[in-house]
Amino acid sequence: MALDVGSKTIGLAISDPMRVTVRPLLTLQRVNLAADCDSILRIAAEHAVEKIILGKPLHLDGSRSDILDAVEQLAQQLHSKSSAAIEWMDERLSTKEAEELMAEARLRVDERRRRRNEFAAAVILRRYLEGTG
């Protein structure tokens, strides 16, 4: 499972057990660190997730983005409450790629806005799977 963590939402994507296909799963509205962690872990358990890939938000020049501290806190919380492995994947330009995918799929503009993070999470997961084989 991959996460694209934003300031207001968290996009989740999942792969099949053979790690061949990737699909956007859903978008969670952020509440607070504990509630966000609990929601993610509940969904991970429902899907028998063994590994959680977190998109690492960096600026194009590789410097830390403003939200990285919050994502690192979420990663620590997930690690302390779960046996699932937690790994990082560079998420630069994943939202742009997600926008292109949604446009190609002819999703309405309002649906694109609503599902942006889960499609970005799918891009992150696809990149991870392609990079690790």
**pLDDT tens digits for range 78-92:** 999 998 999 999 998
pTM for this structure? 0.90
Q: Please report, for the chain, the start and end positions of each structural domain, with discontinuous segments joined by +.
A: 2-132
Cβ neighbours for 69, distance < 8 A, ≥ 6 positions apart:
none
Q: Domain 2-132 belongs to what topology?
A: Nucleotidyltransferase; domain 5 (3.30.420)
Using the Cα atoms of residue 11, residue 92, residue 113 and residue 127 in order, give the sign of their dihedral.
negative
Enter the tokens of residue 111: 């649906």
pLDDT of residue 27: 96
| Rounded mean pLDDT, 12-27 | 93
| Rounded mean pLDDT, 38-51 | 95
pLDDT of residue 132: 62
Rounded Cα gap, residues 43 and 127, in angstroms? 22
pLDDT of residue 1: 97
pLDDT tens digits along 92-128: 888 898 989 888 889 899 999 999 999 999 999 999 9
Rounded Cα gap, residues 123 and 2, in angstroms? 9
pLDDT of residue 53: 97
> 70-78 long-range CB contacts below 8 Å, 24 or more apart?
70/5, 70/7, 71/5, 73/33, 74/3, 74/5, 74/33, 74/36, 74/37, 74/40, 77/33, 77/34, 77/37, 78/37, 78/40, 78/41, 78/52
